[in-house]
A and B are shown apart, each in its own frame.
Chain A
Amino acid sequence: MSLTPEQVHRVAHLARIELSEAEAHDTLCHLNEIFALIETMQAVDTQGVEPMAHAQDVAQRLRPDRVSETDQLEQRTTFQAVAPETEAGLYLVPKVIE
């Protein structure tokens, strides 16, 4: 199986990555190599093997339902000091309307 240039552009769009035609061509080659690797792995018989969700066979630890944050206004000031633009406690971003 190999990818088409259209599929590469679609994946790039989903990832919000801008690709020139030359880059798209290179990417296509790289991705096709990865696909070849996947094909090799898919040749392995996995009948009856349960898919893994995580590399370690342990269960999720749970946290008690307690609010651990204090001084959140101060924390906000710290966080927003490195934000490009804020106003009245809000982070400002280019207008997005669907």
Chain B
Amino acid sequence: MKQWEVVIGIETHAQLSTQSKIFSGSPTAFGAVPNVQANAVDIALPGVLPVLNRAAVECAIRFGLAVDAEIAPRSVFARKNYFYPDLPKGYQISQYELPVVIGGRLAIQVAETEKVVHLTRAHLEEDAGKSLHEELGPQFRGKSGIDLNRAGTPLLEIVSEPDMRSAAEAVAYARALHALVRWIGICDGNMQEGSFRCDANVSVRPRGRTAFGTRREIKNLNSFRFMQQAIDYEVQWQIATLEEGGHIEQATVLFDPLSGETRAMRSKEDAHDYRYFPDPDLLPLVIDQPWIDRVRLQMPVLPAAKRDQLVSDYGLSAYDARILTASLDSARYYEAVVAAAGSANAKLCANWVMVDLAARLNREDYDIGQSPVSAQQLGGLIARIGDGTISNSLAKKVFDALWNGEGESADEIIARQGLQQITDQDALETLIDEVVSANPAMVTEYRAGKEKAFNALIGQAMKATRGKANPQRISELLRRKLTSTS
């Protein structure tokens, strides 16, 4: 059997987080009743003119800076002509020959290996409206319904080079890009609502050959799981077709999540000929260096740099740093916890955020930004573990109390519930004396060499303190007591 190499490039449409549309003053909010967010520009009434939204351009600049790309000092909007009822003008305003972002790179992680995916370009364009064909009642008389609320929503189309060599790499790229656009605040990343959608160009070639095979484009992948399934299926299908002596025809295909198969939508014969040309309604977009510099100053530290910072400043493992920088909210939360708990407790903070807090958030289906326990509260709690005021197990009780809003701070809850560890030496020794005299049988067994009996005695002592002593300390004192009186 031949060895095949998979080649994948990805185009992503990221909906930009602006208040108004890219060329009109209509709102961009999701979920409004049909056609109330579509003004004369959006529905393309005669005589209207597009006026470009500054914030959409700024999003493109942010993205370009984040992927180390060139920001074009001059870029041009073009008309992409095609006919479809949800495209009222008969063309989409996009960018063609001169896009706003040129080149760029994105590091991805697959298993333990890091790889750089190169970007071709990113350009600004407007979204189309929505056509509703099914689920319409009989009053729709078998017609299609058009909702133009989405028409004119700003999009950044991000095009990668065909650098990916497996479905896993494609998914890793999509995830890294998804995390990045959210991190820099240009896209909310909501895939269910279509804010972030990917098309994958997939081809295969015999290993060692440099020419690409014929590609098929899988459209509108709106989840990472579907992306993985769709590419896996497509690759298998292409290899099987070629090995049976068939050939691949360039086509656009759709993934059907129910059957797990991809199926051709339109073949090259009737592929669209978009007849791009510069849009005479729009002048060239000029971005000068001072503007780029201003945007650069407002950029957050990027995920990769933040990971390095966490490793070098707090001694975290690369793995922990990666988990904590999954989102900007998560990274900021963690840093606020450390600020409250003290950097000596940075590792303990990482464990609490990644394990205890994450488990609880997950169970209640909250984002970290919605955590009922604030970073300051959690940091305050961890400070009390760090300085020995409370044991780790009692800290979990305090955490629950904070989660349920039973107190403003860990200190308040510890004081009210009397949870401080008993550190007073005399008090602990008295307590151990009592345990020893109350359990003569266990003491005898211990002296007969049964280590189990010793653990049972520790258990008795911890019970007597209601968990408020350090088990290590109890063990030491008990051992000394039993040795001295033997």
Using a CB–CB distance below 8 Å, which chain A residues touch chain B?
14, 16, 53-56, 58-69, 72-73, 75-76, 79-80, 85, 87-98
| Complex contact B283–A92 (CB within 8 A) | no
| Complex contact B36–A72 (CB within 8 A) | yes
Contact of A90 among B18, B54, B57, B147 (CB under 8 A): B147
| Complex contact B278–A98 (CB within 8 A) | no
- Say yes or no: is B275 at the interface (Cβ < 8 Å to chain A): yes
Main secondary structure on chain A at its contact with chain B?
loop
- Cβ of B34: which chain A residues have Cβ within 8 Å of it? 88-90
Q: How far is the CA of A91 from the CA of B130 in the complex (A)?
A: 11
- Mark contacts of B391-431 with chain A using CB atoms, 8 A cut-off: 1 yes-contact digit, 0 otherwise: 00000000000000000000000000000000000000000
| Complex contact A93–B144 (CB within 8 A) | yes
| Complex contact A95–B148 (CB within 8 A) | no
From A61, A79, A95, residue with most partner B Cβ within 10 Å: A95
| Complex contact A90–B35 (CB within 8 A) | yes
Kindly count the residue-residue contacts between A and B in the assembled complex, taking CB atoms under 8 Å apart.
133
Shortest distance from the beta carbon of B119 to any chain A beta carbon, whole Å: 23
Q: How far is the CA of A72 from the CA of B35 in the complex (A)?
A: 8
- Mark contacts of B65-92 with chain A using CB atoms, 8 A cut-off: 1 yes-contact digit, 0 otherwise: 0000000001010000101110000000
| Complex contact A95–B36 (CB within 8 A) | no
- Say yes or no: is B55 at the interface (Cβ < 8 Å to chain A): yes
Known contacts A88-B34, A89-B33, A89-B35: A53-B143 contact under CB 8 Å: no
Shortest distance from the beta carbon of A93 to any chain B beta carbon, whole Å: 4
Shortest distance from the beta carbon of B77 to any chain A beta carbon, whole Å: 8
| Complex contact B52–A96 (CB within 8 A) | no
Shortest distance from the beta carbon of B266 to any chain A beta carbon, whole Å: 7
- Say yes or no: is B94 at the interface (Cβ < 8 Å to chain A): no
| Complex contact B143–A61 (CB within 8 A) | no
Chosen A-B contacts, 20 in total, with CB atoms closer than 8 Å, are A14-B275, A54-B280, A54-B282, A59-B285, A60-B283, A61-B283, A62-B57, A64-B55, A65-B20, A67-B19, A69-B37, A89-B34, A90-B132, A91-B35, A91-B85, A92-B146, A94-B143, A96-B133, A97-B144, A98-B266
- Say yes or no: is B265 at the interface (Cβ < 8 Å to chain A): yes
- Cβ of B131: which chain A residues have Cβ within 8 Å of it? 96
- Cβ of B54: which chain A residues have Cβ within 8 Å of it? 62-65
Q: How far is the CA of A61 from the CA of B281 in the complex (A)?
A: 12
Contact of A69 among B25, B43, B76, B98 (CB under 8 A): B25
